[in-house]
Amino acid sequence: MRLGLLGGSFNPIHNGHLTIAQHVHERMRLSQVLFIPTGDPPHKRDGSLAPANVRFEMVRLAIADSPLFIVSDIEIQRKGKSYSIDTVRALQHHYGPSAELFFIIGLDAFLEFPTWREPNELLKICYFVVVPRPERSFQALAEMPLLPNLNPLALAQLDIGAQNRLDIIVPSCPGITCLALPPCPTSASEIRRRVRNGLPLANMLPPSVESYILRHSLYQEDLNRTHI
């Protein structure tokens, strides 16, 4: 089993998330992609973040018609601060040693990867798939101490779309693949802004998720108030 792991707040999940999951599924030949919504933060939540159970339900609705996608509440059920290393270890235990795990991560988050808990251990137990993010350059990876001797020209080719994939060998690790994907104009913050101002969502969301947001009046209240 080749299982993609796609975490995030999904606040809300939108067509951009689904497109990324679809592209990575196809190009990395994955069996399925597992969506992992984050739990509620242990500190006080501001009103722009819908409760974890609500975000989980939106993901469930968004992927209901696709056998390629599944959703997990593993981080929602965990108490306190959740770390990726704990999630991956738990999924390893759940799926068994025959499962290969592919951690799908945006370039912006991967550039912060050295600050994560046990980054070297995480690289050893999980394959990483790095996808583009707006206003971030793959060339920035050349500055990461974890990835010495990267070819700046190859990274630049990714940025301009002249190369669609770069496989990076990391000693004693499954590896890292950087994928050049079509730019995604959709963002969760823009969706929340449009909902709050009563603007059309213009096919930014699966219809089931849009209906759920409007039915429960999500993202329409003052930031200091909870949602439903």
Cα 53 from Cα 179, distance rounded (Å) = 31
Does residue 206 form part of some domain?
no
Instruction: Give the per-residue pLDDT at 40.
Output: 86
Q: Does residue 216 fall inside a structural domain?
A: no
pLDDT at residue 99 is higher than 60: yes
Cα–Cα distance, 96 to 204 (Å, whole number): 36
| Structural domain includes residue 199 | no
| Share above pLDDT 70 across residues of the chain, in percent, rounded to a whole number | 94
Kindly indicate the confidence band of residue 80, based on its pLDDT and cuts at 50, 70 and 90: confident
- Verify cis geometry, omega within 30 degrees of 0, for the bond prior to 174: no
pLDDT tops 90 at residue 215? yes
Angle CA 28–185–45, to nearest 5: 90
Q: Is the pLDDT confidence value at 152 over 80?
A: yes
Look up the CATH number of the domain holding residue 178.
3.40.50.620
- Whole-angstrom CA distances from 64 to 57, 69, 102 are 10, 8, 22
Give the chain's mean pLDDT. Answer: 92
> Is the per-residue pLDDT at 227 higher than 50?
no
pLDDT level of residue 10 (50, 70, 90 thresholds): very high
Q: How confident is the model at residue 52 (pLDDT cuts 50, 70, 90)?
A: very high
192 falls within a domain: no
Please state whether beta strands 127-131 and 176-179 pair in parallel, antiparallel, or not at all (unpaired). parallel
* Residue 48, CA atoms < 13 Å, CB-side half-sphere: 8
Q: Above 60 in pLDDT, residue 78? A: yes
Is 56 inside any structural domain?
Answer: yes
What residue numbers bound the domain in which 74 lies?
2-186
Structural domains counted in the chain: 1
Asked whether residue 221 is domain-assigned, the answer is no
Least confident of 3-7, 77-81, 102-106: 77-81
Helix/strand/coil for 214: helix
Residue 203 within any structural domain of the chain: no
The CA distance from 159 to 24, in Å, is 17
pLDDT of amino acid 45: 56
